Amino acid sequence: MNRIVLGVAGGIAAYKAAALCSALVQCGDEVDVVMTADAERFIGALTFAALTRRPVHTSLWQAPEMIPHIALAREAAAVAVVPATANVLAKLAHGIADDLLTNVALATRAPLILAPAMNTAMYEHPATQANLRTLQERGAHIVAPEAGFLAERESGVGRLAERDVIVAALRDVLARSQELAGTRVLITAGPTREALDPVRFLSNASTGTMGIELAREAIARGADVDLVLGPTVVEPPFGARVVRVTTADEMCAATLARAAGANIAIASAAVADWRPALAQARKVKKEDAPPALALERTPDILAALGERKNGTFLVGFAAETHDLEAHAREKLVRKHLDAIAVNDVSDPASGFGTGDNEIVLLWDGGREALGRGPKRALARSMWNVLARLRAARSNG
């Protein structure tokens, strides 16, 4: 049995929340309903009380001795806001807590599921879309609205998703949120920069997005995540312990310092393999530039992790331009990896600096093509396979 907080905001779709509430109760869930004042204009609290056989919460001040927003937030396995109006989305995106529902949603550490419903123009407004992106980047799960007939007697996107779609999303979130509970995950992401002088460096086009999405998905599955992150403008996920580094030496030191306690380590960082043998303290003028640049190797972080695995499930990445799987399998063996993700960085439509990627996951005696798609979706697919492989190793 899961304890679910069902937040009902003030939109015409509030009446559909009653059918959702009934479905959850019939599935055996314990449902605490939190209504905004505007929601009560569309549907009565008595309806939800009859369905749940539990008190309905409508105010921060109903029972001030129990601090209801903290009690509800801590006891929930998930918080679902159905419907999520433009107003509630804006408040949550900007951290405004001016009623019981927004207080609960901001105070909880449980997964947050948001099912928007509103007029098409409101949904498509840049402010609403920006708020949805912000909430999703923080780990909220968005159940996208459907196109159809709206209360304004118009047709368009903004109609609340069907009850079964919301139930399925909630079930999926609950299952994932428990999968990696109690697991420590270490992820490296992003490029490194190796200085030539104070204004120039050797690096690559990695943004760290793939590793950041892997960290976000691990958190959604209940993991305790350390993220060692090279220079990037992409924001890391809320809930990760982020260590920012610049050089390969810094990334190596930070990674190895955290590796001992990790159950799973994923080295997705695009570490610069070489650095200038001598970094200049002052900017080198064009007329003073040397005719050749002497380079030296940077530390091999993945090899160092492989040498001291001590039970850690170790996953590497291989960014290749040719003979992808042959190179990746050689790396899999040489660096003592449990799995390796290989992608073609010569393809301008995937890999470094793009929103999409195309990954094949390899392991000893196995292979699974994850296909091409957004890096967030690929991170989820990759974790699905990694969880299965790790469980098989544990059972073997």
Quick: pLDDT tens for 95-105.
999 999 999 99
Return the percent helix, strand and coil in the chain, to nearest 5.
40, 25, 35
Residues forming CATH 3.40.50.1950 domain(s) in the chain: 3-179
Does residue 348 have a cis peptide bond before it, meaning omega lies within 30 degrees of 0?
no
Find the helix or strand (DSSP H, E) in which 198 lies.
none
> 219: buried, middle or exposed (CB in 10 Å: 19+, 13-18, 0-12)?
buried
172, two tokens: 């999926």
Query: Which pLDDT tens digit goes with each residue over 134-187?
Result: 998 888 999 999 887 777 677 878 899 999 999 999 998 988 878 898 999 999
Q: For residues 70 and 113, is the Cβ–Cβ distance under 8 A?
A: no
pTM value > 0.75: yes
User: What local confidence, expressed as pLDDT, does residue 60 receive?
Assistant: 82
Given CATH 3.40.50.150, say whether it is the number of domain 184-395. no
Torsion, CA 23, CA 27, CA 30, CA 33, rounded to 10:
-10
Distance (Å, rounded) from C-alpha 14 to C-alpha 64? 26
The residue assigned the tokens 């409101």 is: 122
pLDDT tens string 13-57: 999 999 999 999 999 999 999 999 999 999 999 999 999 999 999
> Does the domain at residues 3-179 carry the CATH identifier 1.10.1060.10?
no
* pLDDT tens, position by position, 331-384: 999 999 999 999 888 777 766 777 788 899 999 989 999 999 999 889 999 999
Residues in the chain: 396
Kind of pairing, strands 200-202 and 155-159? unpaired
Q: Which residues pair with 316 in a beta bridge?
A: 267, 340
Q: In the beta sheet, which residues pair with residue 195?
A: 201
Contact 265, 215 (CB under 8 A): no
Determine what percent of the chain is predicted with pLDDT higher than 90: 69
Least confident of 193-197, 227-231, 278-282: 278-282
The set of catalytic residues is 204
Paired tokens of 255: 């990674």
Report the pLDDT averaged over residues 276-298: 85
